[in-house]
Chains A and B, each alone.
Chain A
């Protein structure tokens, strides 16, 4: 199921206030050899971008203390971060619409499935490989 491509690992940022959900998603991403960074709320995530950190993908929860996922995504895109793939994640109603409105690329309902996460990561690996060979 997993595939490994030589070169830099996919840099994933998990923005999630639930320790349990973070642990599960981290385990999924480790299966695909991702380099994982965690933020407990939207504000921490935005701060990382302000500090110049770069990521290939963000998995972002919706409801979080301090700053929500959609608010953080809006700010991250406003910083000019248009290339990072942003996946909104939630169990809530109308979450998909809200995420897409603020600039998310994709929405995944919770609970996430390994196959689905894997397909997204493989897509990024392929894109990185194509960029590397250009």
Chain B
């Protein structure tokens, strides 16, 4: 069945996202919040995350340009992004955010710039992978419950 195949592909993609460290257990917590009233909750949260995080990344970029050396400001912006990453289980992004904040603490501008490039890269990769994941789930349709076999 096409549905079963698509579901398998989605499960496999999700497993790889965990194995490669893109996602952690918190993502499962978000998916577990789905129910009949909110069947697409996880996709909605992830969609909001990418909309919000794109804005935060832009804020950080502008802050680094307009306020060179203002590590407190840079750090404050990155803290917001890190919080969101943490909440949806975006593990690799979260780690890169931490490295950026560490560089802020050390007042290491070059370190911040390097980390920020990695944050943007991980953001783009995760976005692409999760878009693929949810596309597979949408194509598969809602989960079907098993039916008893029998003549019909």
Contact = CB atoms under 8 A, between A and B. Distances in A.
Interface of A: 17-21, 23-24, 27-28, 30-31, 63, 91, 110-111, 113-114
Contacts of B14: none
A110 B87 contact: yes
Interface stretch (B3-11, B37-45, B138-146): B37-45
A21 B84 contact: yes
Given A19-B48, A20-B49, A111-B29, A27 B41 contact: yes
Given A23-B45, A111-B89, 13 more contacts: A18-B52, A19-B48, A19-B52, A20-B48, A20-B87, A24-B33, A24-B88, A27-B41, A30-B37, A31-B33, A31-B35, A63-B76, A91-B82
B80 A17 contact: yes
Contact of A113 (B29, B38, B82): B29
Contacts of A30: 37
A91 B45 contact: no
Interface on chain A toward B: helix, strand, loop, or mixed SS? helix
Nearest to A17: B80
From B41, B45, B76, residue with most partner A Cβ within 10 Å? B45
Contacts of A28: 33
B86 A91 contact: yes
Contacts of A31: 33, 35
A55 to B, nearest CB: 22
A91 B86 CA distance: 9
Given A17-B80, A18-B52, A111-B26, A27 B33 contact: yes
